[in-house]
Amino acid sequence: MSIDSSEKTSLIAAAVQRLTAAADSRIPCAPIRDLLDVTDIDAAYAVQRLLTDLRVAAGGRITGRKIGLTSPAVQRQLGVDQPDFGVLFADMDVTGLPEVPSGRLLQPKAEAEIAFELGADLSDGDLDPAQIRAAVARATAALEIVDSRIADWNITITDTVADNGSSGLYVLGENWLTLDEFEPRDVRMRLFADGELASSGDGAACLGDPLVALAWLARTARDYGQPLRAGQVILSGALGPMVPTPPGTEIRAELSTLGTVTATFAKDNAAKDNS
């Protein structure tokens, strides 16, 4: 059944309120697809944009973007044919912390990815492969710690887009290379949880090439009026299946050429101040 614009505005506001309450209380909520049509991706991005605006108004600083749903298998699982994106904030980067603060997370999982740092804006032009490649200043191995405010990860594309692409935190590696020094699609990845191999994959698992994923993001972000800017960090999408990371988990991801990135999840799951 179709709804008018005023009713849609009210439903979008209700979705924002539900997700905000889940984040503030640290109690996962019901899916929001009872509020938004499961195929209305534009409405879901409207929710994400309002949540982003609230976070910025509260002092949050945008530092980049994350790309999700780059795996064809996951796309088939959710019944979609495209990736999605979320917004990265400065306080999501926990690279410099001795432990990942488990108390800031609800139901986290880790993915190994390639992180790109942009040296140029991707706001104008054709955004063709040559322009995308030239815009990348450098890259490193990364762990994206995905999370969901939706209970039991019971999500569709609408739920995850609205929930900032199911974003949580991230950790960046120490070894940075330029695209003259490695080829993203050729990277091989192994991820270990508590010393046991838990996930593996390669650059081809990310839309065939992480640079293809970056190109998709550049076009889509521009279409939504949020073009990518120089200096931003882009988490380009998982190279293999995600792995649950309850408190106490030790994660190590090995990415050929790019090196190793590690994270230890704090055993104390008490809520901590995000500021």
Class of domain 5-264: alpha beta
Query: Are 116 and 65 within 8 A, CB to CB?
Result: no
Contacts of 34 (CB under 8 A, 6+ apart): none
Angle of helix 41-57 relative to helix 5-25, nearest 10 degrees, comes to 50
CA-CA distances (angstroms) from residue 229 to 62, 65, 117, 123, 217?
Answer: 11, 10, 10, 7, 12
pTM assigned to the model: 0.94
pLDDT of residue 275: 35
pLDDT of residue 77: 65
Residue 119 DSSP symbol: S
- Domain definitions of the chain by residue range: 5-264
Query: Are 242 and 166 within 8 A, CB to CB?
Result: no
Cα(249)–Cα(263) distance, integer angstroms: 8
Cα(44)–Cα(48) distance, integer angstroms: 6
Query: Are 135 and 119 within 8 A, CB to CB?
Result: yes
3-state secondary structure of 22: helix
Hunting for tokens 């780059």 — which residue is that?
70
Mean pLDDT per block of 10 residues along the chain (275 residues) reads 79 97 95 91 96 97 96 73 93 97 96 97 96 98 97 93 96 98 97 97 94 97 96 96 95 97 89 44
Cα(264)–Cα(251) distance, integer angstroms: 6
